[in-house]
Every structure is written in structure tokens, then in C-alpha cells.
Structure 1
Amino acid sequence: MLKIAVLSDIHGNYPALQKCLDYAINLGIDTFIFLGDYVGELAYPQKTMDILYSVKKQYKCFFVRGNKEDYWINYEKEPTGWKEYDSTTGCLYYTYQNLTENDLQFFKSLSIKEELTFGSLLPITICHGSPRKISEKLLPDNENTYFIMENNSTDYILCGHTHRQGKIVHNEKIVLNAGSVGVPLHSNGKAQFMILCGLQGSWDYEFVSLEYDIENVIADLHSSGLSRKAPYWCKVSENLLRTGKLSHRAVLERAMTLCKDKFGECNWPNVPEECWEQAVKELIYGHLP
């Protein structure tokens, strides 16, 4: 039986990444698929990249690009709009400042999808969001998802991006979402990945959730200085790591609504810290104004 570890949305959580890799390697797995969003959100991104480069040297690996990789590539072309000590873009700026030229060249080398074949097993498509668009979500009970599945060249699609593990079946085609290694939603704080199992021409799968040292990851936010450079973004990160609830997007959208209510308009990335503060108070701490 062929076993492949499928990992997505690491977002710089190197302890969670190492935990998932160790688990897979201890099972004898020597083939890995990585579905993008390797860094961003969390501290010390180079530690994550060093682990990925090491795995790439030692094992058979396949990588695709996530939307975060596009952020770094595009910012290199046009470095405007991001700044330190800003909850909206401080984390993006911090991560970019800690990437190397080698990292950027690696990201540029990745495609947004690959079609893979392993022996006599059914071919699979790997992508971050969808095979069409890097930031497109493949959601259950969704006509757009069904359309993409029907028009995809393979019967199996492996994806991430939503940070939720799951399976979608439509007309004998299957989407498998590996979840998120680094900042998963609704995982009770556990790191997530997937093991793909190939036998007798077909695929089976196992969703894996693992406990790891979350408090160490949170301590890194402070020791790295990231919690000062993106204060309320990091408060959302802490809450998400511990509880698996409330995405950054949800808090950002609330902060932008508060900004618009107060100032008449709100255009990303110009979201005042006072609006972030109020959004965090409401959504995380439950303190209404």
C-alpha cells in the first residue's frame, strides 16, 4: 500500500509541522504533498522554511503555491501598503522581512496546481484553493464546487485553503481537504493533515489531528516581537491556536465594518487600530460597546 502525507496551510507553525512530519515518518511514509500557505501568521518563518527544505532533500515531495506565496511574490514586485506596528499588515510585513531570496525563488517556481499519477492508481489534482484559482474555496453543498469538480480532468482533487478538513463527493468525483497544519478551524487546537492511501488502483484517506505545544507557538509571537508589530492580529492568532475558533478574516471584516460606521468608508489596508481593538473585544472577549 502506498501512503502519502498531505499537508496544507502551515502558516509558519513549525512545531505543528514537525509534529505532523514525525508522525508520518514514524509510519514509514516517504512521500509528501504540500498544498501551499507555508508561512504567514506566526513567528520565525525561516524555521518553517528550513524544515521544508530538509524534507524536500530527504523524501519525495510535491509542492504547489498558496495565496500567501502570491502575497510575497507580488510585494517583491511592488513593495507598498504594508507597515510595522499595524494589525492589518504588520504580520505580512514581518514575514516578508524574514524571507530570503532563496525562499522567494522557491515560491516562484511553484505552480497553482499539479496533476499527479502514482503507478496504476487514479490520477489526482493537487491545488491550494481550487484547480482554477489559488484563492477559490471548494465548499460543500456548493454549485460552483460541483461545476469545478465536473470540469476537472481527474476524479480526485486535494486542496486546502479553508482550514477545515472534509470530503465532498459529486457524481463519483471527490474533493479531499487536508485541513490546516498551522491554524486550523474547529480542531480544538490540534494540528491537522491527511494520509492518502493507495491500494489496488483506488484511493482511501485518513484525516489526522495531533496535539502539540501550542503555548510554545504563542510564546514565539512575543519573543519574536511579532505581537508588537501586529498586535490585534496576534491576539486573534492566540485565540485561534487555543480554541480553533474565529478566523482572522472574520475579525478583519468586523473591524472594517466598525471603521466604515465611524468614518464613512474603509479601504483595506487602512483599518485603524481602534477598530481592531473593538472588534477583538466584541468577538473574542464578548465585551460589547
Structure 2
Amino acid sequence: MGFFSRKEKLDEGLAKTRKGFFAGILDMMNAGSIDDSFYDDLEDQLILADAGADEADRLVTALRQRVRHEHIKNAAEALEALKSIIVEELRADGPMDLSGRPAVIMVIGVNGVGKTTSIAKLARLYKSQGKSVLLAAGDTFRAAAAEQLTIWADRVGVPVVRHGEGADPAAVVFDAVQSAAAKGVDIVICDTAGRLHTKHNLMAELAKIRRSVEKACPAASVETLLVLDAITGQNAISQAAQFIEAAGASGIILTKLDGTAKGGSVISVKQKLGLPVRFVGVGEG
């Protein structure tokens, strides 16, 4: 798929989210002058878009300052200023660190958010860039998780390392990283469990998996991407905090942006947790 067709598909997929996020705000463009009621209405619209009350207040405060500093006179210009503020805040400090040999990408998140599909998309992306990719079926607790990952691996045309159901996830990842290092594979993408018997067990398991990467190949670089369902809303904040603590997440994959997601939660996640959104997902294709 070429660049422009991919971009067109992304634009199409984001149409509903864009409408949900900015629909009410766009309606305010006809407000004309900017006054206190304009700012109050804007704050309400940001809260409705799942930005969260604290973030909505902070964004409106930033916009007030921008309006005064740039002498903005009407609502349409204020909306453009708001967009630029949001873009600046969501911009990542730098690219992902894929300098290791291999470069390891751990993909974490609760079940049902789109981890497996996201892994397949990442594998296809890096393969299309001429990199060799290996998948690690580290979710050994969910029935058929390894089978699902293997199906995607076959579709994409990349190998996968898997053990039997109930095996030690850290051992699976260890073998995958060690094999990749021996064979000169560029990137290892690791699936992980999204649920164990208790939250404590899940967090301990994720920390153990990360340590296994370092043991398998000290020269490996590690990026940990937290997959969040965009429909989750403000619950994404507490969810993200738990996974960051256990696995040291360094970025976010925001999925299901082609549905009814309002999208505002990503602002809260970035501001409160300091995690850049590295990828967005629209559909399973």
C-alpha cells in the first residue's frame, strides 16, 4: 500500500473521532467574539471530548494566554490556536530507540484493547522498511493467544517464537531475544499477557519479562508500548499508570480511533504520564 493510500485510509478512519472531538468546538466558530462565555463553553466541550476536567481547565488557560499574546480577535482564530497548543503538547521529544541489535519492542495492555492486531501492524510496518522482524508469543495465559499471533505472523510473513500454553512468558521472550541476537534479526516484538489471576501477578510478570530481555541480550534496546483503547476515556489514565509502574512503558499505541472514540483522553495521558503517542490504530486491516 502506498503512502497516499495509507494516508487516505487513516484520514477516513479518523473521521468519526475527529467529528466527536471537535464537533462541538467547531460549532463555536460562529460565536464571533471571544468572551468569558466562549471560554466556559469551550471548557465544557473539551470535557465532553474526554479530555478530563483538569486538562480542559489547563488548555483553556493556555488558550487565554495565547489569545492575549497574539491579539486573537475571533473564535475561528482561537480554534486554530487551540489546535496548535494540542499539537505542541502531543509532540514526542524524539523517535523511538531502535538502536539495539536486536531492538526489542514490548507490547503491553489489558485484554481486548487490540494488542495482537497492533503487533501485526508493527511487524508489517518494519518489514516494509526492509527490517527483519521476529515475534514472541509471550501471552501464554490467554487461551489461543499464541495461535492468534501465529496467524497474524503468517499473514505478515514473519517468524514467531512460541512455547506451550501455560509456559513461562519470560522464558518465551528470553528465547526469542536470544535467537534474534544470534541470527542478526533487527526487531523483536513481544506480546504479553493482559490479565492474570491478580493485578499484582500481572505487574510482577511484566517486570520479569523486561528483565529477561536484558539477560538474553544486554546489547538490546527496549521500547515498551502500552496499547490503550481510545474508547476507554479517563479510565485510561489509571490503567496506564499501573502498567508504567510495572513495565516502564515508554510510549502509547492508541487503538480503535475509527469508531465512537472521542479521543480527548490522549491529551490527559500525555500530560499526566508524559508518554508520547507513537502509533494510532484504525481497523484491523
TM-score (norm 2): 0.27
Q: Going by fraction, where is strand more abundant, 1 or 2? A: 1
Please identify the structure whose Cα radius of gyration is greater: 2
TM-score (norm 1): 0.27
Tell which has more relative contact order, 1 or 2 (C-alpha 8 A, sep 6+). 2
